[in-house]
């Protein structure tokens, strides 16, 4: 008898498939795709640097403002300037310290809840690109390396991440003002 035409077609198809190499279209490794991915990755790294620079500037302004406030508190204490309501005496240095707490808290908010979140978004995007393309371009691992290198050990025990670094930096400034 005559072989089933469906079986013959499957056998021919199986033989033909041996001559082809299939891969998802979006992962084809051609020079143009690689160049585009590298350009996009470089832009993401630029954005990371931009937000990191903004955060460092915010901290610089916070330290400068903090120093100015401490100097003002010292001057007000030296001059013994007070605000008096009936029998209530409030040193101006106390008022300035409270204003300082509000100002440093505003820097903390802007740094942590505004620009740091944008930096984290840029780092996460960089890590996604790196994870997808690392097998083709092993040198593309900056975001992942920074993420892994950022935490440090404190007193050989506690691992300090960026969230704790915020608390330490701004906590020290606020503790002095309190």
DSSP letter string, 94-114: HHHHHHHHHHHHHHHHHIIII
Q: Measure the CA–CA gap between 82 and 84, rounded to whole angstroms.
A: 6
91 DSSP β-pair partners:
82
Least confident of 29-33, 80-84, 87-91: 29-33
Identify the pLDDT of residue 28. Answer: 57
pLDDT in tens, 23-65: 665 555 677 788 888 999 999 999 999 999 999 999 999 999 9
Neighbours of 19 (CB within 10 A): 6
Q: What is the mean pLDDT of residues 61-83?
A: 96
pLDDT of residue 145: 85
Question: Rounded distance, CA 125 to CA 41, Å?
Answer: 9
pLDDT tens, 145-175? 888 788 787 777 788 888 888 888 999 999 9
pLDDT digits (tens, 9 = 90+) for 126-150: 999 999 888 888 888 888 888 878 8
**Which residue intervals of the chain are DSSP H helices?**
5-17, 31-79, 92-110, 116-133, 142-149, 162-177
């Amino acid at each position: 008898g005559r072989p089933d035409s469906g079986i013959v077609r499957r056998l021919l198809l199986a033989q033909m498939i041996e001559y082809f190499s299939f891969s998802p279209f979006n992962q084809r490794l051609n020079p143009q795709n690689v160049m585009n991915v590298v350009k996009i990755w470089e832009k993401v790294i630029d954005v990371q640097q931009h937000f990191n620079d903004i955060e460092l500037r915010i901290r610089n302004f916070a330290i400068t403002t903090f120093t100015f406030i401490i100097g003002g508190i010292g001057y007000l204490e030296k001059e013994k300037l007070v605000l008096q309501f009936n029998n209530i005496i409030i040193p101006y240095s106390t008022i300035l310290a409270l204003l300082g707490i509000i100002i440093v808290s505003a820097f903390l908010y802007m740094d942590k809840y505004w620009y740091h979140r944008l930096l984290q978004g840029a780092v996460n995007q960089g890590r996604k690109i790196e994870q997808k393309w690392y097998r083709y371009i092993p040198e593309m691992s900056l975001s992942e390396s920074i993420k892994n290198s950022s935490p440090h050990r404190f007193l050989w025990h506690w691992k300090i991440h960026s969230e704790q670094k915020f608390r330490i930096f701004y906590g020290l400034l606020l503790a002095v003002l309190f």
